[in-house]
Homo-oligomer: A and B are copies of this chain.
Amino acid sequence: MPILPKGNQVYAADLVSIREAQIRINPHIHKTPLLSSQTLNNLSGRNLFFKAECFQKGASFKFRGACNSILSLNDRQVGNGVVTHSSGNHAGAVALAAKMRGIPSYIVIPENAPECKVKNVKRYGGQVIFSQSTMLSREHTANKVHQETGAVFIHPYNDKHVISGQGTVGLELLEQVPELDAIVIPISGGGLISGITLAVKSINPSIQVFAAEPEGANDAALSKAKGEIVKLDEINTIADGLRASLGDLTWPVVRDLVDDIITVNELEIINAMKLCYEILKVVVEPSAAVGLAAVLSEKFKCNASTNSTKNVGIILTGGNVDLSVLWDSINK
């Protein structure tokens, strides 16, 4: 049963493009496992199914979109390589997908990006070009590289191939847990949640989709409340992967099809991160714990629409985090 767009809205991806993406990228990605824990089920009062995209190649779901995007281009188009700007997981994902295809990648990284994410890009053979930390400087630098090299720009989320690639997380999750009632997904630029929502609601429109967002980067919640894209002047959260704003391709899906946006504070994020390490035994970056934080929040528990929500999927989005404090303590 296809999703009926509201009014004349046509979304950037659909079940067909997401299934095509799945066929295209399946030989190259990891089918990530589901994890579960009775302790966390008891804590939340639901059955939680954690989709561990931190075990994806490049350690985040971003590889799916980058891979689909780069494999969708023909040999002539990618002859000069690809370029992107990213402070995070998209950077490593593009470098890895480009390496796989045997083409050069130019990755513009703001000078304040976490060291571990820069290291990933280098490990995968990407050429790192530093910019200032403002979005203007990032875009300007990437554009300059594009003009100088002819490399194709791969947007981190506002791109139909990227959205379709991320949507494959939803297809896999539904194969693994067909009886799913809801999915909770950290939101930033909206590529992941758009793709998953278009995938799962096309297959089963009754599945609820909730976005999870840090209070200190709550532009998606404000956008949804106001009915138009809101951008924040200041962003303040430990979740370094959730700092982007919605794009014109992701916003319509969030506006029309995402059921609600749950915001969580920094303490809730850190507590959820701790549970991921101590109970689930997975290494997640702070952004990846925001979904669990939302499910454990009073807001989610008291949300009337979740009264009969029993089986909940949570996307653990990525695992790139600097753990040097741990190794320093062992080497002492």
Cα A280 to Cα B283 in complex, Å, equals 9
Find out whether the CB atom of A54 lies under 8 angstroms from the CB atom of B277.
Answer: no
Residues of B within 8 A of A274 (CB): 327
Residues of B within 8 A of A329 (CB): 325
Cβ of A238 within 8 Å of any chain B Cβ, yes or no, is yes
Find out whether the CB atom of B38 lies under 8 angstroms from the CB atom of A281.
Answer: no
Closest to A326 in B: B326
Closest to A32 in B: B33
Residues of B within 8 A of A281 (CB): 54-55, 59, 282-284, 319
Cα A280 to Cα B273 in complex, Å, equals 17
Residues of B within 8 A of A283 (CB): 277-278, 281-283
Cα A274 to Cα B326 in complex, Å, equals 9
Closest to A316 in B: B281
Q: How large is the interface on A (under 10, 10 to 19, 20 to 34, 35 or more residues)?
A: 20 to 34
Closest to A124 in B: B39
8 Å CB contacts to B: which residues of A1-57? Answer: 30, 33, 35-36, 38-39, 54-55, 57
Q: Assembly of this chain: how many copies?
A: 2
Cα A165 to Cα B37 in complex, Å, equals 21
- Measured CB to CB, the closest approach of chain B to A254, in angstroms, equals 28
Residues of B within 8 A of A55 (CB): 35, 280-281
Cβ of A307 within 8 Å of any chain B Cβ, yes or no, is no
Cα A55 to Cα B123 in complex, Å, equals 28
Residues of B within 8 A of A30 (CB): 36
Residues of B within 8 A of A54 (CB): 281
Residues of B within 8 A of A319 (CB): 281
Find out whether the CB atom of B59 lies under 8 angstroms from the CB atom of A330.
Answer: no
Residues of B within 8 A of A326 (CB): 277, 323, 325-326
Find out whether the CB atom of A331 lies under 8 angstroms from the CB atom of B270.
Answer: yes
| Chain A 154-165 per-residue mask, 1 if CB under 8 angstroms from chain B, else 0 | 000000000000
Residues of B within 8 A of A327 (CB): 270, 274
Cα A132 to Cα B47 in complex, Å, equals 41
Can you offer 15 A-B residue contacts whose CB atoms are under 8 A? A33-B35, A38-B57, A54-B281, A55-B281, A59-B281, A116-B278, A273-B330, A278-B283, A278-B323, A281-B282, A281-B283, A282-B282, A283-B283, A325-B326, A325-B329
Question: Knowing that A38-B57, A55-B280, A326-B326 are A-B contacts, what are 5 other residue pairs whose CB atoms are under 8 Å apart, sorted by A's residue number?
Answer: A30-B36, A33-B33, A55-B281, A278-B283, A283-B283
* 8 nearest A-B residue pairs (beta carbon): A33-B33, A281-B319, A281-B283, A325-B329, A54-B281, A277-B283, A326-B326, A59-B281
